[in-house]
Amino acid sequence: MDGHIKNEQVITQRTGFWYRLLQNGLIKNVRRHWMLYLMILPGIIYYIVFKYIPLMGSVIAFQDFQIFKGIFASPWVGLENFKTLLHYQDFHEVLRNTALIALYQLIFQFPAPIILALLFNEIRLLIVKKTVQSLFYLPHFLSWVVVGGIVFELLANQGIVNAIREMLGFEPILFMQEEAYFRTIVIISGIWKEVGWGTIIYLAAITAINPSLYEAAVIDGASRFKQTIYITLPLLLPTISVLFLLNIGNFLELGFDQIFNLLTPMTYSVGDIIETYVYRAGVLQGQYSLTTAIGLFQSVIGFALLWIFNRLARKSEQGLW
């Protein structure tokens, strides 16, 4: 009897998913619901061609990929490309720029919508709240080309920022051409464009908080400020945690569009990031294997960070998985 049960367990373990699937009548299911299979077919082809094949294509990071030989005939070189990277001056610079900007984004840009959402929440006049929110959401829908253009125009020699500086008796500054200002401009323009949009999720989470908690706090004599600190913020923590994790997985992916549209050759030394570098060296100059190695490096770091922070978050039961 005992042996029989063990035997059965082994069978279920071995057979796994696909066996059960066939047993449950995959063929019958296809015959009966062929329309569903037909519907999803283009979607599956799309994901294979444009998501999975490029993902597998990352193996050219371990090759000396030559475009005419293709992926199957190009020679394998093991970790050669990664070794080259480590001794490559450009790579050090680009990696430093990427990591620094990513860090500044995390410190300044990530908390901004949380603070703004809390401030929104204190506005009682509905018409003011709606108007202010509408204005804050607007820049999200502009492209980085447009926002980049706006930034360049406003900060130009004849732009309004220098006009104001002149009125106050300061010398004009060519902001976009000077290395010292580049990262600050990236962070401020990033906050300007996305902070309003970022509040939406937090505001939804705030609306979901049970009002009786606040009523009880009022009876206990808690001020609005204390209610925010001891009720709203703690109850936002799960949302913050999840958004933080989703963010950290893309830690080194700063967004090609933003940096590409703010960068000039004069600010390469502080602003050239992995994605803009990969574009120039890979797409334009054809160093496919080397730049794919950089891309792979970036993904691995992102996944490692996600994994580490997820473990930390799980200790307080707010992980992604």
Is 237 among the residues that bind another protein (CB under 8 A)?
A: no
* CA gap 298, 223 in Å, rounded: 46
Q: Is 135 in the site for another protein (CB under 8 A)?
A: yes
Residue 307 is a binding residue for another protein (CB under 8 A): no
Which residues fall within 8 angstroms of residue 266, CB to CB, at 6 or more apart?
177, 178, 179
Answer yes or no whether residue 138 interacts with another protein by CB under 8 A. Answer: yes
Task: Name the segment binding another protein (CB under 8 A); options: 7-15, 85-93, 255-263, 309-317.
Answer: 255-263
Contacting another protein within 62-101 (CB under 8 A):
none
When binding is defined by CB under 8 A, the residue of 183, 213, 257, 301 that contacts another protein is: 257
The residue to which tokens 């490309």 are assigned = 81
Q: Which of 24, 127, 219, 317 binds another protein (CB under 8 A)?
A: 24
Residue 235 interacts with another protein (CB under 8 A): yes or no: no
With CB under 8 A as the contact rule, the residue among 77, 106, 132, 213 that binds another protein is 132
Q: Count CB neighbours of 119 within 10 A.
A: 12
Span of 8-16, 96-104, 174-182, 256-264 interacting with another protein by CB under 8 A:
256-264
Round to whole Å and give the CA distance between 77 and 125: 66
Q: Which of residues 176-195 bind another protein (CB under 8 A)?
A: 192
Instruction: Name the one range near another protein by CB under 8 A: 77-85, 94-102, 174-182, 254-262.
Output: 254-262
Q: How far is the CB of 247 from another protein (least distance, A)?
A: 12
Q: Does 268 bind another protein (CB under 8 A)?
A: no
Q: Does 271 interact with another protein (rule: CB under 8 A)?
A: no
* Cα–Cα distance measured from residue 45 to residue 38, given in angstroms and rounded to the nearest whole number: 11
Residues pairing with 76 in the sheet: 63
For another protein, the closer of residues 10 and 58 by Cβ is 58
Do 274 and 102 form a contact (C-beta atoms < 8 A)?
no
CB of 282 to another protein, least distance (A): 5
Q: Give the residue from 53, 93, 95, 99 showing the smallest Cα distance to 293.
A: 95
Is 36 one of the binding residues for another protein (CB under 8 A)?
A: yes
Print the binding letters for residues 100-129 with another protein: x by CB under 8 A, - otherwise. Answer: -------------------xx-xx----x-
* Residue 15 near another protein by CB under 8 A: no
Phi, psi of 316 (to 5 degrees): -105, 20
- What string marks each residue from 147 to 176 as x (binds another protein by CB under 8 A) or -? -xxx-xxx-x-x-x-xx--x----------
Q: Which is nearer to another protein, 7 or 293 (CB)?
A: 293
Asked whether position 33 contacts another protein by CB under 8 A, the answer is yes
Size of residue set near another protein by CB under 8 A: 92
Q: How far apart are CA 219 and CA 224, in angstroms?
A: 12
CB of 76 to another protein, least distance (A): 16
Facing residues of 63 across strands? 76
Nearer to another protein, 49 or 237 (CB): 49
